[in-house]
């Protein structure tokens, strides 16, 4: 279970939070000028990368505040937490651990052999 550092309350157990999926997804307004594809992508399509991921969390059993988070999905390491109105941190400011050909992280599953 993760420890999540709520920017308003401090570090708390994951069970107090809910995940809100990918962050920085811009909502087009609901007008008819928006094309089917653009709207469809907003409604139905989300990224699910292995590695660095910008995502949203809400402290649902706490202060009810939403915030953003950068997490390495291959190791579950939380790299940065920032408020919703703060600038999105640059991707190259994080060390991406996903290097092996199969996409497995250097660390984190099985033994040295299984990864090959």
Partner 1 sequence: MSELNLTDNKFIQFHQKIGFKFDGVKYYGYKGDTIASALIRNNIKLIGRSFKYHRPRGFYTCGIEEPNALVQIISEFSEPNTRATIKKIYEGMEIESQNRWPSLETDIGGINNIFSPVFPAGFYYKTFMGPHKNFWKKIYEPIIRKAAGLGKPPKEFKAVSTHVNHNVDVTIVGGGLNGLIAAKSLIDTKFSVLLIDFDDQLGGILNNSNKVQSVNNQTPMDWISETVKDIENSKNIKILRNTLVTTYNYINHLIAVEDKFVGSRPLKDKVNSTLHKIRTDQVILSNGHIERFLSFQNNDLPGIMLCSSFEKYMCRYGVMPSKETVIFSNNSNSESLVFSLIKKGFKPKAYIDSRSGENIEPDLFDLIRKNDIPLYTNSQIKGAFGSKKLQKILVEDSSGRFNEIKTDFLCLSGGINPDVHLFTQSKGLLDWDEKDLTYKPAQAFQPTITLGSASGQFDFNSINKEINEKFDIFGIKPVQIDLELNTSHKFKIEKLWEVLPQKQTIWSKSFIDLQNDVTTKDIRQAISEGFDRIEHLKRYTTNSMGTDQGKISSINALGIVSDLLDKKVNEVGTTIYRPPYAPLSFAAIAGRNSYEYYDPERKSPIHNWHISNGAVFEDVGQWKRPWYFPINKYETMDDAVQRESKNVRENAGVLDGSTLGKIEIKGKDALAFMNLIYTNSFSKMKPGSSRYALMLGEDGMVKDDGIICKISDEHFIATTTTGGAATVLECMEEYAQTEWTNLNVYMNSITEQYATFNISGPKTRNIIEKVFPEVNFSNEAFPFMTFQFHEYEDTPIRILRASFTGEMGYEIYVPSNQAIKIWEKIINFGKEFGLKPYGTETMHLLRAEKGYIIVGQDTDGSVTPLDLGLDWMIGKSKKDFLGKRSLIRSDTVRKDRKQLVGILPINKNDKLEEGQHIILDKEIKTPMPMLGHITSCYQSPTLGHNFALAVIKNGQSLIGTKAFASTPELKTIEVEIVEPIFYDKKNTKLAS
- Binding residues for partner 1, per CB under 8 A? 1-3, 18, 20, 27-32, 34, 36, 39-40, 42-44, 56, 58, 60, 64-66, 75-76, 84-85, 107-114
Name the binder of 8 from partner 1, Zn ion, none, CB < 5-8 A by kind: Zn ion
Contacts 24+ apart (CB under 8 A), 32-39: none
Which of partner 1, Zn ion, none does residue 39 bind to, with CB < 5 to 8 Å depending on kind? partner 1
All residues at 6 or more sequence positions from 51 whose CB lies less than 8 Å from its CB, including other chains: 72, 73, 74, 96, 97, 98
**Contact criterion met (CB below 8 Å) for 81 and 69:** yes
Check if the beta carbon of residue 2 is closer than 8 Å to that of residue 18.
no
40 binds, among partner 1, Zn ion, none (CB under 5 to 8 A by kind): partner 1
By CB under 5 A, name the binding residues for Zn ion: 6, 8-9, 59, 62-63
């Amino acid at each position: 279970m993760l420890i999540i550092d709520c920017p308003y309350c401090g570090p708390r157990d994951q069970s107090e939070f809910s995940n809100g999926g990918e962050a920085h997804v811009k909502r087009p307004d609901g007008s008819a000028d928006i094309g089917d594809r653009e709207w469809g992508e907003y409604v139905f399509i989300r990224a699910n990368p292995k590695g660095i991921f910008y995502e949203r969390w809400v402290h649902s059993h706490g202060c009810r505040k939403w915030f953003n988070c950068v997490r390495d999905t291959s190791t579950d390491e939380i790299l940065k937490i920032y408020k919703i109105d703060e600038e999105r941190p640059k991707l190259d400011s994080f060390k991406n651990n996903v290097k092996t050909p199969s996409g497995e992280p250097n660390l984190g599953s099985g033994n040295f052999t299984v990864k090959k």
